């Protein structure tokens, strides 16, 4: 499965899915997309499976850096190697492996199996 996420300036996220994926629940339900910080990586330019983001905070933690990012209207945490060159206010692309994401019902928080 491949998909692209498009974040509208209002903060709404549009998911364009290429391939087949179906939810067991009603069509049109509000869903959340979950990605663990260690499953995100910085990309130099736009490519499939990327989100545009701005770095807000860089926390050097020894074994890695923990970044706080602004992604549309939401905040996200990203774990990068300690030698990753990144500074607050940098505009970056977040790349993720579609196999590592989790879909959740926005109302209940329960996982959606596809």
CATH of 2-105, one of 3.30.1300.30, 3.90.1150.110, 2.40.50.140, 3.40.1010.10: 2.40.50.140
pTM of the model: 0.67
Using alpha carbons, select from 30, 29, 35 the residue that is nearest to residue 50: 35
Do 27 and 40 touch, CB atoms closer than 8 A?
no
pLDDT in tens, 53-87: 999 999 999 999 999 988 877 788 888 999 999 99
Q: What is the pLDDT of residues 1-13, one digit of tens each?
A: 334 454 445 544 4
d(C-alpha 112, C-alpha 114), whole Å: 6
């Amino acid at each position: 499965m491949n998909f692209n996420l498009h974040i509208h300036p209002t903060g709404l996220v549009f998911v364009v899915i290429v391939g087949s994926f179906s939810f067991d629940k009603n069509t049109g339900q509000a869903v959340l997309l979950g990605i663990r910080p260690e499953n995100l990586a910085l990309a130099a330019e736009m490519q499939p499976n990327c989100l545009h983001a701005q770095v807000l905070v860089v926390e050097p933690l020894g074994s890695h850096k923990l970044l706080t990012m602004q992604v549309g209207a939401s905040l996200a945490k990203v774990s990068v190697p300690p030698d990753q060159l990144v500074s607050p206010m940098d505009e970056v692309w977040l790349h993720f492996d579609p196999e590592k994401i989790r879909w959740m019902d926005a109302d209940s928080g329960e996982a959606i199996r596809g």
